[in-house]
Structures are given as C-alpha cells and as structure tokens.
Amino acid sequence: MMNPSITITVNHDLSRKAINPITKTNWEGLGVVPDIPTSLEDTLEKSHELARVAATKHGIDRKQLHEDLSVKLVAILVPLIPKAAKRPFMRP
C-alpha cells in the first residue's frame, strides 16, 4: 500500500530507446561484441574454463567455493518453494 501523501509522476512515453551519447546508437537488435569471442556450442565450456583459471589465479579453492555457493543457493530457493506451491497452475 502506498502512502497517500506521496505523489509519483510517471512518464507515459515508454517507447523511447536508450541512446549512447558518444556513438549516438543503440545496441538493440545489434547485440554487443563479446570480450571473448566463442561459438555458441563452446560457450558453457569456455565460461567454465575461464572460471577455473580465475579461481586458480586468485587462490580460490574451487571445491569450497562450490560448496559455499550451493549453500547460498539453497538458502535462497528453499523459502520460495512454499510460495510457489501456493500459486495456482497457469496454462499458457
């Protein structure tokens, strides 16, 4: 519930595009140039390779990092399960 004493003005013209002030262009429909060119098929493998290299470079124990991230992910997802179970099933 919003506070009735607050006034919010919304710009109704939501069709505007973000334009780069330097190039005067927009990336929409063009995409962005990746820092590391990789084929679609090799993307996942390449990202894992880069993650391993970065972990080694910074002295990060990959097994411990994996365990830490797993614990954090479970902590985020478990509270969402009861909420999701209460939602009615929607068909497209």
What's the pLDDT tens digit per position in 5-39?
Answer: 666 666 666 566 778 888 888 877 777 778 888 88
Residue-level pLDDT at 52:
83
Helix, strand, or coil here: 72?
Answer: helix
Helix, strand, or coil here: 38?
Answer: coil
pTM for the model stands at: 0.40
Residue-level pLDDT at 1:
47
Residue-level pLDDT at 74:
81
What's the pLDDT tens digit per position in 42-91?
Answer: 888 898 888 888 888 888 887 887 788 888 888 887 777 766 555 555 55
Token pair in block for residue 8:
């919010």
CA-to-CA dists, residue 31 to 7, 56, 74, angstroms: 37, 31, 33
d(CA 76, CA 84): 13
